[in-house]
Every structure is written in structure tokens, then in C-alpha cells.
């Protein structure tokens, strides 16, 4: 047995076991709360500003992007993420957080070579996989709609 294997075994003895049940519960409630806030915002935009539902949905997305970016800049979103885990990774807020975090982390390297290039390293992978999955699902939908 290698020294590294002995070390890994020793570390496992002192490592706390994660509570999957409570972590799942926290993720569920925080993610649900974020979604409930989104629904409340959509209802507010429809009732108060008399917007069409599709416009209100876009306003909710914009609001979530703004809030996630502001909370990331203030260091609050990281604390929410540490507490809630996957519950804070609701797609639009998690994506905004990852872009803002990359921009903040590399701002000392300059706007172009620091902020822009590192921010879009994160965005590039998401955009590529989104386009590929959209294409695959589009082909599957086309095949099923023409065959059945």
C-alpha cells in the first residue's frame, strides 16, 4: 500500500459524514423559495404594471439576473450557496452568479484579458452545451412529429 492510500484512509476517519437528507431539504426549500419569489414577481408585474405574461416572465428573469449579480458582488450569494447547495443553482441565478464571480475574481487583470476572457470561459461551455442539447432535442422532436 502506498503512503497516499494510508493518508486517504486516515483522512476518511476524521472527515464528517455529509447529511444528505438535511442537505436535500435545505436545497429543496431554498430553491422553492427562489421559485416562489419568481412567481410573486411575475404576478406583481402582471397586476401592477399590466404586462402580458411573456413580458412579465422576461422581467422576472432580468430581475433575478440583477439580484444574483448584486448579491454576488456583495458576497451574500456565496453564503446562500454554501447553505443551500444545489438549491441556489436555479439556472438563471446560478449562471449569473458564476459569471459575476469570474468577473470579480479576475478584475485585477484588466477588462479585456481579465474580466471578459475569464467570464466567457464559464459562459462558453454553457452556451455550447445548450446549443448542442437544443439541436439534439429539436431533431428528436422533428422525428417524433413526422413519424407518429
Q: What is the 3-class SS of the chain, one letter each residue?
A: CCHHHHHHHHHHHHCCCCCHHHHHHHHHHHHHHHHHHHHHHHHHHHHHCCCCHHHHHHHHHHHHHHHHHHHHHCCHHHHHHHHHHHHHCCHHHHHHHHHHHHHHHCHHHCHHHHHHHHHHHHHHHHHHHHHHHHHHHHHHHHHHHHHC
More reliable by pLDDT, 123 or 29 = 29
Domain range list for the chain: 22-147
The pLDDT value recorded for residue 1 is: 61
The predicted model scores a pTM of 0.72
The pLDDT value recorded for residue 104 is: 84
Amino acid at each position: 500500500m502506498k503512503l497516499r492510500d494510508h493518508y486517504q484512509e486516515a483522512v476518511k476517519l476524521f472527515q464528517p459524514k455529509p447529511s444528505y437528507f438535511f442537505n436535500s431539504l435545505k436545497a429543496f426549500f431554498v430553491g422553492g423559495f427562489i421559485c416562489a419569489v419568481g412567481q410573486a414577481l411575475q404576478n406583481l408585474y402582471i397586476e401592477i404594471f399590466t404586462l402580458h405574461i411573456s413580458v412579465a416572465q422576461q422581467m422576472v428573469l432580468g430581475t433575478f439576473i440583477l439580484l444574483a449579480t448584486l448579491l454576488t458582488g456583495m458576497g451574500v450569494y456565496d453564503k446562500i450557496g454554501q447553505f443551500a447547495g444545489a438549491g441556489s443553482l436555479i439556472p438563471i441565478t446560478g449562471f449569473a452568479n458564476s459569471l459575476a464571480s469570474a468577473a470579480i475574481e479576475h478584475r485585477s487583470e484588466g477588462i479585456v484579458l481579465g474580466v471578459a476572457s475569464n467570464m466567457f470561459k464559464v459562459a462558453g461551455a454553457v452556451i455550447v452545451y445548450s446549443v448542442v442539447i437544443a439541436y439534439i432535442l429539436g431533431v428528436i422532436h422533428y422525428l417524433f412529429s413526422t413519424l407518429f
